[in-house]
Amino acid sequence: MIVVLDASAATGIALNAANAEIFEKYLHDADIVIAPNTYPPEICNVFWKYTEFSNLDFVKAQKGIDFCIDLVDDYVDTTPMWREVFAESVTYRHPVYDLFYLVLARRQNAILLTNDVKMKNLAKDMRISLPEACQN
């Protein structure tokens, strides 16, 4: 099984938030965990927000970033995907950043792990697999 991990799911695991246990099981059972190479900057940005707005300690934030980066086995170059991703983002009227994850999951027939409700809804429209327990 191939899993595409997005930043919301990864930070959810790191912070033991919603669906963390379900996501951890999928990561454990996966043959490979992949993400677009936009993932590391997104992870850094999430933890920057936590330090800026939730007073998360800098050292803890760095540990969280390390943890999230280590969850992914392989990063996929987004450059060859940009035309397809851009077209889909215009078609679905949805941010490009999310479409990199969605298109990657579709191309790889992978299960997408995300906590983002709008992204989950779009994944359903695009017939991309989600964990059954996380489809709401």
Provide the β-strand partners of residue 35: 75
Residue 136, pLDDT above cutoff 70: no
CA distance 126 to 128: 6
pTM: 0.94
Radius of gyration of the chain (CA): 14
In the chain, where the domains are located: 2-134
Orientation angle between helical segments 7-14 and 20-29, nearest 10 degrees: 110
Chain segment 1-49, per-residue pLDDT in tens: 999 999 999 999 999 887 899 999 999 999 999 999 999 999 999 999 9
Domain topology for 2-134:
Rossmann fold (3.40.50)
Instruction: Single out the residue of 40, 38, 42, 44 nearest to residue 103, CA to CA.
Output: 38
At residue 106, φ and ψ (nearest 5 deg) are -65, -45
